[in-house]
Every structure is written in C-alpha cells, then in structure tokens.
C-alpha cells in the first residue's frame, strides 16, 4: 500500500519523537475542528519480537514474543498526543496524563489501541482497558481528554467503561470502530454488522442495529475510524491468521482491507487483503480525510508508527475493488 | 538520508537485507531501539543466506538495542549466541560474550569465550561498529579471567606482551594497574 500510495503522489511519514518507554505503535490519526492533524500514539514498555522468513533467529520464547522487562511481567501502555503539520512532520507531542482511578490488577496495564475522536467539541480516546479485573476482562473505555494547545499538554479528565449491550458478560471487547460523523456510534462487529451507541456521560449501551451485510470470507476486525467519503463511508479493517509452529509457539500474520459502508452502515464492499510494508504484523487504527486524500495511520511489528497520505485515486481504486467483492 | 526516504527505498524491495539494514541503523541513530530491532531482525532473517556480514552485525546491534531497554538480559545473550551461529569463524561475538562474563565475575565463562575468540581468524571489516576493539582485547580478557582461574604466570606474560603493542590508552592503564596488583615486585 505504501508503494502504491507514494507512486501516485502520496507521502509516508514515520512518527518519531523522544519518549521514555520502549516502542511507539498503533497510531490513530484524526483532524480536529481547528484543522490540526492529531495522532494518538501508543507507547509501550515492551518490544514485539517477530521473526519472519525461515524464522532462523527466534527469541528465547519463540518467533513471536512480547519482550517486557524480565523482572516485570506487565505489558504497560501509555499514550502520547502528537500534532503534525501539513507536511506530516511531528511538531508537538505530550504524554497523556491519565487519571489515577485504580491500581492495575492485571498484566496488561493502560488504555490500549485508543482511537482519537472529537464529538460535540470534546476529545475522546476510545480504546480497551484490561487492568481492572484479575482475569483481564477487556472493555472499551471513553477517556475524555483536555488538550491545552498553547502548552501542548493532554490530560484525561473523565473516564467511562463502556458495557456491552445486554448482559455485559463477554470476556474481552476491543477494536470497536467509532463512526466519526455519528457521535457515540460504533461498529462492534462486521458480520453481521452490529452498530451500538453509548454516551460518555450516561449508563448503558444500546444496540442500534444488527444486519447482515456482505459476508467476508475471513473475520474482519476493527481498525480505523469510519470516515465519510463522498456518498459512502470507508474504514480499514484487519484480519489475522493465528497459528502455532510445531513447538506450539504462537505466530500470526495480519492483513488489512478497505471496507465500504452505506448510509445505513451496511457493509457493502470489501477490498482484497493488502499490507502496508510487507511485514507480517501490521495494524492500522486511524483514518481521516485531508483535502482530497486519505490519511491512514498504522504500525508494523508493534514497533514503528507511520502516517500515510493516500491519494484520492488510490482510495477510489480500492473502493471500486471493494464494491466488486459483492458481485 | 532521512528515515522516510530509506523506508520508501525499502518499499521497492522489502526483503532486501541491505535496505532493511539501512533503516535499522537510522532508527538506532534516532534512539528508537524497538524500531531498530524490527529491521535488524528482518536483515538477519532475509540476509542469512546471502549477506552473512549484515546478518551477523544486525544480531550484535540488536543486542545493544535490547541492552539499552534494560532488564532484557536473556534476549541480549540470545542475540550474541545467534550471531555466532551465523558466523562462528569471526571473533566479535566471542569477545562480547567474554567481556560480559568478565563483568559478571564469571571467570571460567570469560576465559572460555576469550579463547574461542582467539581461535577465529576472520577479521574482515564489518559494515558497522559492533564494539570489538581488536584482537588484543581478547588477550586482555583471557589474561584478566585467567588470573582468577589460577593462571597467574600466563596472565603476567599476556599483560606484558600487550604493553609492547599499540593499544588504546585505557587498556594500557588497566593493564599497568593489574600488573601492579598481581605482580607488585616487578618493574613495569
């Protein structure tokens, strides 16, 4: 995808800035009401070690390992809020100061894979938190963010744990897809398409619709936000092949697709799988329109973060390809 | 060259070991150790059969990257050992292991790895500094660890021989101090 975008006049921008953790990953790009290009970047205390090709050089724990400190089993996440200029250069960055509401009691600590949105003028980071129970139960959470653009400081000022509709008994909810121009609406599943609505300041979550759109031949999981593109919506989803080698060590391959949605949020198109940089592990959690183009944000191997300016021509080719899926 | 330009180059040939290595080196220079690890590891995996010097160097640089992250010692040692698997006829990884065990006061291990390093002859230049000062440093490790293993006369002989060579000043000072301590009656 990067090669294709750049060949058509797009631009790849690595997101690099000084930080006090180990890795920068899973960036979520967004343009706010001031026209600022903002990116939430997940920073972690671990390095994902992933051997590719013949896997001749695995870690001591296998070809795919989360290398946290050896005396600290936790996988810790912090978030940084970054501003980029129109050339997609990082101009400002600040660690998001999170509220201290509880002592984490599971090994995955922090708000993970947060998508950035601004609804009714308020910034939210919406991600999954798994540190509030002793078994790692995951729930999407709203973190309301106060952003001081003069000092470039970001602070969490409120938090809501989002229940599932119904009995709220599932183990782990993650990667709900925010619909940018429909405040508080999310795509929870893609097949069938389940749309839910949950307000940041009231209890509960409502199921808005549950309809079967086109049927993907592989489970499509949440990726970027849903953005309006002409008379449709588009988003980038991901799919995973998880498997084990003969030593029963886990491994996986991630690929992405462009999803096309109609006004009723029916899934009506699905592109062929693509990769960004031909790495086996890639993950895109951000999309927003800049001018005529689409900004996509992604990381590879959980270790490098990028924003890709994807020209309109490339996006529209993908949309046509996606719409062909149904035919 | 800027990191974005190096990655764009890589897009045209994503499994090219040299292009992956260039990206890794740049990320390491920028202080992004996790990013560097990703591309050093790709260099090793895709370059093992065709670019052994790059694969070897990458595994040693990966060890430095993990070392900067603190408390990843099993992974660091694993990288050094894997470098030896790529090219067991080079001395650098043996020196690094010997030096590591010397700092741990694990004298037998330090002595063994120093001797293993001295048995290797391939010292053709590598594409990047991997922290190997030269053959004299293996002799230095052998002399230091050997003293603790009861090989006093051998240590004194090696130290004295090293003092006749053109070696870095901090090594010269260390050798002089060691000789004063272990052989106080001798004139240096």
| E strands present in chain B | none
Q: What is the pLDDT of residues A130-155, one digit of tens each?
A: 999 999 999 999 999 999 999 999 99
Cα nearest neighbour of A88 on chain B: B4
Indicate which of A7, A303, A307 best probes the interface with B, i.e. most B CBs within 10 Å of its own CB: A303
Query: Considering the domain A2-324 in this protein, what is its CATH number?
Result: 2.115.10.20
Q: How high is the mean pLDDT of chain A?
A: 96
Tokens representing residue A55 in the block: 């896997």
Q: Average of pLDDT values for B3-8?
A: 95
pLDDT, residue B183, reads: 76
pLDDT, residue A120, reads: 97
Tokens representing residue A218 in the block: 């592989």
Q: Which helix (H) or strand (E) holds A312?
A: helix A312-324
Chain A residues touching B5 at Cβ < 8 A = none
User: Mind giving me the DSSP string for A146-210?
Assistant: EEETTTTEEEEEEEEEPPPSTT---SB----EEBTTSTTEEEEEETTEEEEE--TTSS--EEEEE
Asked if the model's pLDDT at residue A308 lies above 90, the reply is yes
Q: What angle do CA A90, A93, A98 make, to 5 degrees?
A: 150
B168 Cα to chain A: minimum distance (Å): 34
Residue B15 contacts A, CB cutoff 8 Å: yes
Residues 277 through 296 of chain A touching chain B, CB cutoff 8 Å: 277-279
Q: What is the pLDDT of residues A49-94, one digit of tens each?
A: 999 999 999 999 999 999 999 999 999 999 999 999 999 999 999 9
Asked if the model's pLDDT at residue A235 lies above 70, the reply is yes
pLDDT, residue A113, reads: 97
In DSSP terms, A194 is beta-bridged to A189, A210
pLDDT, residue A325, reads: 87
Q: A12 vs B7: CB contact, 8 Å cut-off?
A: yes
Q: What is the pLDDT of residues B93-135, one digit of tens each?
A: 999 999 999 999 999 999 999 999 999 988 899 999 999 999 9
Contact A180, A191 (CB under 8 A): no
Chain B residues touching A281 at Cβ < 8 A = none
Contact A285, A28 (CB under 8 A): yes
Cα nearest neighbour of A299 on chain B: B35
Q: What is the residue extent of each domain of chain A?
A: 2-324
Q: A57 vs B34: CB contact, 8 Å cut-off?
A: no
- Lookup result for tokens 């004299």: B136
Q: Kindly report the pTM of this predicted structure.
A: 0.94
pLDDT, residue A128, reads: 98
> 3-class DSSP state for residue A28?
strand
Residue B69 contacts A, CB cutoff 8 Å: yes
Q: How high is the mean pLDDT of chain B?
A: 95
Under the banding of pLDDT at 50, 70 and 90, the label for residue B186 is low
pLDDT, residue A326, reads: 67
Q: What is the pLDDT of residues B17-26, one digit of tens each?
A: 999 999 999 9
Q: What is the pLDDT of residues B9-68, one digit of tens each?
A: 999 999 999 999 999 999 999 999 999 999 999 999 999 999 999 999 999 999 999 999
Of B30, B48, B59, the CB nearest to A16: B30
Contact A191, A220 (CB under 8 A): yes
Residue A52 contacts B, CB cutoff 8 Å: yes
Q: Which helix (H) or strand (E) holds A124?
A: strand A122-129
Under the banding of pLDDT at 50, 70 and 90, the label for residue A257 is very high
Q: Domains of chain B, with CATH numbers?
A: 1-87 (1.25.40.10), 89-188 (1.25.40.10)
Q: Is the peptide bond before A192 cis (omega within 30 degrees of 0)?
A: yes
Would you tell me how many other CB atoms lie within 10 Å of the CB of residue B174? 16
């Amino acid at each position: 995808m990067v090669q294709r975008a750049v060949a058509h006049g797009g631009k790849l921008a690595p997101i690099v800035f000084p930080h006090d953790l180990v890795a920068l990953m899973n960036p979520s790009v967004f343009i706010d009401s001031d026209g600022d290009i903002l990116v939430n970047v997940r920073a972690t205390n671990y390095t994902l070690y992933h051997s590719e090709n013949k896997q001749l050089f695995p870690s001591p724990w296998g070809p795919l390992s989360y290398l946290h400190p050896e005396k600290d089993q936790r996988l810790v996440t912090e978030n940084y809020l970054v501003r980029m200029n129109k050339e997609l250069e990082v101009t400002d960055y600040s660690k998001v100061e999170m509220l201290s509401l509880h002592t984490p009691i599971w090994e995955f600590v922090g708000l993970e894979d947060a998508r950035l949105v601004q609804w009714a003028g308020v910034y939210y980071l919406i991600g999954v938190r798994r540190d509030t129970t002793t078994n790692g139960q995951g729930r999407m959470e709203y973190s309301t963010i106060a952003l001081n653009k003069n000092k470039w400081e970001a602070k969490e000022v409120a938090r809501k744990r989002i229940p599932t509709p119904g009995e709220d008994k599932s183990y782990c909810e993650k990667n709900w897809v925010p619909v940018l121009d429909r405040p508080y609406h999310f795509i929870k599943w893609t097949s069938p398409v389940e749309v839910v609505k949950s307000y940041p300041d009231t209890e509960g979550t409502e199921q808005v619709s549950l309809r079967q759109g086109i049927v993907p031949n592989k489970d499509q999981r949440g990726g970027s936000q849903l953005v309006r593109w002409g008379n449709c919506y588009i988003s980038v989803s991901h799919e995973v092949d998880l498997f084990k080698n003969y030593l029963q060590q886990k491994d996986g391959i991630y690929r992405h697709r462009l999803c096309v949605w109609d006004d009723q949020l029916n899934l009506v198109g699905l592109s062929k799988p693509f990769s960004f940089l031909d790495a086996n592990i890639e993950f895109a959690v951000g999309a927003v329109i800049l001018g005529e183009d689409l900004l996509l944000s992604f990381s590879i191997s959980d270790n490098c973060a990028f924003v890709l300016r994807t020209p309109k021509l490339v996006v529209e080719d993908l949309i046509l390809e996606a719409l062909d899926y149904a035919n | 060259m800027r990191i974005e330009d190096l990655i764009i180059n890589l897009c045209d040939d994503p499994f090219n070991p040299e292009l992956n290595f260039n990206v890794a080196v740049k990320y390491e220079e920028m202080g992004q150790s996790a990013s560097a690890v990703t591309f050093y590891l790709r260099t090793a995996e895709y370059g093992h059969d065709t670019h052994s010097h790059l694969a070897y160097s990458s595994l040693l640089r990966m060890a430095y990257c993990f070392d900067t992250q603190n408390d990843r010692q099993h992974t660091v040692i694993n990288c050094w050992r894997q470098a030896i698997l790529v090219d067991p006829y080079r001395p650098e990884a043996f020196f690094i292991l010997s030096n590591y065990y010397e700092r741990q006061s694990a004298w037998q291990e330090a002595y063994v790895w120093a001797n293993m390093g001295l048995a290797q002859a391939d010292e053709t230049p590598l594409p990047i500094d991997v922290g190997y000062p030269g053959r004299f440093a293996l002799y230095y490790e052998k002399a230091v660890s050997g003293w603790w293993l009861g090989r006093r006369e051998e240590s004194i002989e090696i130290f004295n021989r090293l003092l006749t060579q053109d070696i870095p000043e901090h090594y010269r000072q260390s050798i002089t101090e060691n000789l004063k301590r272990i052989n106080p009656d001798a004139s240096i």
